[in-house]
Structure 1
């Protein structure tokens, strides 16, 4: 099993019912919109997927359900965000047994590990599975940076193949390419820096606002890769105020509100998160509605189903 590490990989939100159970019907509605738009992969249980409040049973239910629904059209990755190496290995092995196509891997949660400890954590998980792995490098939110020297150590693991680059330093895309060439596939993980990162050579985009605007997100990526920069820039400039919702602590609530506005989601979140209300809700909704009022007509050929899991 291998993954074609390119294109748009949505970090999908987890849908909940009013009774705080998994809402698989609405989840499927959103998945259908992602596939129709031509995304290249699906990532489950990330920050946007409210991983910290999902039970193991819910994570693996989502994985099994998504694999069946997607039916091989695109690779399905499960995010691993655990506090101990033992639990992370168990999650990785369970994901593999259920048929996951790959993993996205965060450093150990709830402990500010040293570089040695972080490398040991990543290495132990990589050795425990044959699944392809994307390392999620987000020192802003998770307080541990995977440096270039650390990635040098990780080159010894052939299944560590991709990086979700979320340092918020666009130059890091160039640093990674200069240091490692094509050894790691680089995905931008910060929506309001996406176009800049892709122009600088990022191979893909782990996107958030794609959950509400799948066609526009795929169009931007495809147009850049086709060197149709002015067309991509027009859409990106329109999209930027919405994309900036991705870098707020309440990104889950903000993006779910956008999903409601575009008809492919609900506002339901799991406590301790609470739905937006009052002035904050009005302000975010205005950003979304202003964008919808000026939603661009997309260029022909800029989106459509293109990717599948490689045998």
Structure 2
């Protein structure tokens, strides 16, 4: 089914020279992503430097993206945090500007129990009419949404999919096997795109698609057409890009790669810092 498409990009946030959100660059980036295969775009996820964007900046980005790209691709707003009440308020604000769905990250830092995770996500889902994408990323949030908790949440009418960045294929397989009809699983790791498809996942919420979107689309289409050897070959060839874009703190490498391709997106906000010349040279080498 792939409600939001097979290839969804967790978009970087373009900045100007003063590290303020640049809306003209954002439009150019959206055009680039759509042209290279992205069927959905996540605005203000981790790759979008959400921790350093104010609420007002995020809402303005959501609104602009909806106005610019509505009908061309799905716009998914990253509205989750570790504050349930604040996340509810922000999710409702995002709904008011017309986004297609929201992505809700596991509450970071707080490390709630599984019951706490369920109550948090249920409260958020109950507060909106929008489709909800859960986002499990224990490497950043310090808490894993277990398969059992994901499956409980999947019973809620508007919890429609999960971005699984746990790296745990066994957990992912359990979710896919036991999920109610219509609930979908996306890989949250580019390097697991093909393995996830092979066990029944529907696609990828990607970072690498900023720079290899066409190749990833070819790989996904090859797999879906039954050309598994071709898909595997493409996946192997893309692995250096999948891994290299995380050789240094993300999204620094992705922004450098985009600049190399002629897509201007500016720098990164502190506490992230610009890549040095040696690091930039490594990123450039991935694109050869």
SS at match of 2:162: strand
SS at match of 2:78: strand
| 1:114-165: CA deviation from partner (whole Å, max 9, x where unpaired) | 1121111101000000100010011122111111221232133110010101
Aligned equivalents of 1:217, 1:187: Cα separation in 2: 14
Following superposition, the deviation at residue 275 of structure 1 comes to 0.7
Structure 1 window deviating more from structure 2 (276-285 vs 146-155): it is: 276-285
Following superposition, the deviation at residue 284 of structure 1 comes to 2.9
CA separation of 1:37 and 1:280: change in aligned 2, threshold 3 A:
closer
Maintained 8 Å contact 1:81/1:105: yes
Aligned equivalents of 1:203, 1:153: Cα separation in 2: 20
Aligned equivalents of 2:20, 2:263: Cα separation in 1: 18
CA separation of 1:265 and 1:107: change in aligned 2, threshold 3 A:
same
Following superposition, the deviation at residue 34 of structure 1 comes to 1.3
Q: Which residue of 2 aligns with 1:159?
A: 158
| 1:241-296: CA deviation from partner (whole Å, max 9, x where unpaired) | 0111344561210111111122223341111211100433333332x2xx42xxxx
Taking structure 2 as the reference length, the TM-score comes to 0.94
5+ long unaligned stretches in structure 2: none
Listed as ranges, the matches of 1:6-25 within 5 Å are 6-25=5-24
Taking structure 1 as the reference length, the TM-score comes to 0.87
Aligned equivalents of 2:30, 2:63: Cα separation in 1: 14
5+ long unaligned stretches in structure 1: 293-311
Following superposition, the deviation at residue 109 of structure 1 comes to 3.1
Maintained 8 Å contact 1:138/1:165: yes
- What RMSD, in angstroms, separates the aligned Cα atoms of the two structures? 1.8
Aligned equivalents of 1:224, 1:169: Cα separation in 2: 21
Listed as ranges, the matches of 1:244-263 within 5 Å are 244-248=243-247, 250-263=249-262
SS at match of 1:9: strand
Q: Which residue of 2 aligns with 1:53?
A: 52
Higher relative contact order (CA 8 A, sep 6+): 1
Q: Which residue of 2 aligns with 1:196?
A: 195
How many residues matched?
288
SS at match of 1:213: helix
Q: Which residue of 2 aligns with 1:128?
A: 127
Following superposition, the deviation at residue 181 of structure 1 comes to 5.2
CA separation of 1:155 and 1:232: change in aligned 2, threshold 3 A:
closer
Maintained 8 Å contact 1:259/1:266: yes
Q: Which residue of 2 aligns with 1:308?
A: none
Q: Which residue of 2 aligns with 1:174?
A: 173
Q: Which residue of 2 aligns with 1:213?
A: 212
Maintained 8 Å contact 2:19/2:266: no
Structure 1 window deviating more from structure 2 (223-232 vs 198-207): it is: 223-232
SS at match of 1:212: helix
Q: Which residue of 2 aligns with 1:100?
A: 99
Aligned equivalents of 2:248, 2:181: Cα separation in 1: 33
| 1:31-66: CA deviation from partner (whole Å, max 9, x where unpaired) | 111112232211100110000000111101111111
| 1:79-104: CA deviation from partner (whole Å, max 9, x where unpaired) | 12323111100111001100011011
Q: Which residue of 2 aligns with 1:62?
A: 61
